[in-house]
Structure formats: C-alpha cells, structure tokens
Structure 1
C-alpha cells in the first residue's frame, strides 16, 4: 500500500481485517472539519441573510477580485460551473451584484458586488472571522502557520 513518510498509519487491523483509521486519514479529517465548519457558519448566514456557504464564497471572491468572470470564480474557489451559475443568479436576483455583459457574447459577464453586496460582505466577513477565531482559538500560532503551509501544499499537490 503506497504511503508517504508519516508518523501514523491511516490503516489499522481489527479482528484480522485491515480498516481505515479515520483519526489518521487526512481526507476524512479535512472533510470532517469542512463539514463542521459549513454547518456552523451556514446556519448563521442563513438565519441572518438567507444566504449559504456558496453564496458567501462567491461574495468573498467578488470582493477579492472585482469584475471577475464565472469561469475565474470556478477556478479560484474550485466550484463547478452549474453551482456558480445558480449562485450568481440568486445573488443577482437578491440585489447583491451588478454585471457587465461582453459585447460579443452576452452570456459572458463580469461581476461586481453592488452596494448591498459590499455591505453584506463586510458583515459576513466579520462573522466568518469570529467563527474562524473560535475554531482556531487554542491552537498555537506556530502550529497554525504550519497547518496553513501543509494545507497549501496539499492543495498544490491536488492541482497538479
């Protein structure tokens, strides 16, 4: 079984059968943290704004890179095109966005946050940062920096 150099194995034996040790299996832990994060934050975003995680991710991306296209959003936040299209439509209908269509192809649009979108972004950002602070509260700064470095490396490995 291929493995990189590691301290703990992602498999163990129970009653002579090899099983996955989810406490030492990075994909499980990444997914578990992501799911827990999404449940916690999505509840707040839905209660206060009627928006979900995907809406927040797109709002954040539009604030980072105003005038972005849907294809660029998908590439940066790793979102499928159908989800991006649906979410942009919801946000546009809700008054959070404005856009300019390409003169040659009206389907190609560049997106910006409207005033409502910018205000909502600032409030959601405060909530997201509060939730992040609670999630990482007892982690030493050096450990957190190592975690971020490892996460970036993993993402890079998956992008190749």
Structure 2
C-alpha cells in the first residue's frame, strides 16, 4: 500500500513473471528464427506441431498451441509458400485439410529445434532438476486451471 492505494507487487505476481519470461523468450528466439529462417515464433510452433502430429488439421494446431485460427492459417500459408509444409484436403470436406512437413520442412525443423533446445538450455542454466520438475508440474496445473 502506498498512500492508501493497493500496489501490485510484480515480483510476486505470477501472471507478470510468466508473461515477462515468455516475452523475453519470444524476443530472443524470434530474432534468431527470423534472421536465419525468415520464420516467426508462431511459424516455429506450428512446425513443431506438424512434426509431432503429421497430418494434423489447423483446428488441432490451434487447440494444442493455443493460437487463433487466423494466426495458424497465416503460418501454414507461410510454411507452404516456403515449401516447408503441404496438405491434402479431406474427401468428405475439401475445406478440411491435413498438414505435414515436407522433406525441406523436416530439415528446417531439425535446424530450428537444435537452436530452440540450445536457447532453452541457456534459459534453464543453474536451475536444479528438482526445481525444474516442480516448475513444469506447476505450469501444467496452471494450464488445467485456466481451462476450467
């Protein structure tokens, strides 16, 4: 409290810290992905999903990485234009497409994954494994709480 006004303690406010870490992470990694691959952070997240679940739909991508349909569609178009992803339309509904990485997409994915894992290792340096496991468990619980 200051002069009778409640003040937010951002060092102990979980949403602030979560957003600060996320913003710093995105700034750092996005700059590398743009410079080296002409791809943004959402494009990388979409690529990761195409690698995790080949023949995935845009709706499923949105569900897992929590982006809106427009952002996922933009990324899929970028990946397709760069020859990194392709799709097949459903026989029952031509608007429903299943997407996957091309051979070139697999190579770029592998290159970006190495960078992402290196950046993650630097971010997590000096954090004991038991603290990291606690952090991951808490983050999963937060996601569940937000989905209620």
> Which TM-score tier does this pair reach, normalised by the shorter chain?
over 0.9
Q: Which runs of structure 1 show a deviation greater than 4 angstroms over 4 or more consecutive aligned residues?
A: none
- SS of 2:7's partner is strand
Q: Give the CA RMSD over aligned residues.
A: 0.7
Aligned to 2:136: 148
1:120-159 residue pairs with structure 2 within 5 A? Answer: 120-159=108-147
- SS of 1:148's partner is helix
TM-score by length of 1: 0.91
Aligned to 1:17: 5
**Between Structure 1 and Structure 2, which shows a larger proportion of helix residues?**
2
Unaligned runs of 5+ in 1: 1-12
Aligned to 2:68: 80
1:102 is aligned to 2:97: no
**Between Structure 1 and Structure 2, which shows a larger proportion of strand residues?**
1
Which segment is superposed worse, 47-56 or 100-109?
Answer: 100-109
Unaligned runs of 5+ in 2: none
Larger Rg: 1
Aligned to 2:36: 48
- Count matched residues: 148
TM-score by length of 2: 0.98
Measure the CA separation in 1 of the matches of 2:62 and 2:119: 24
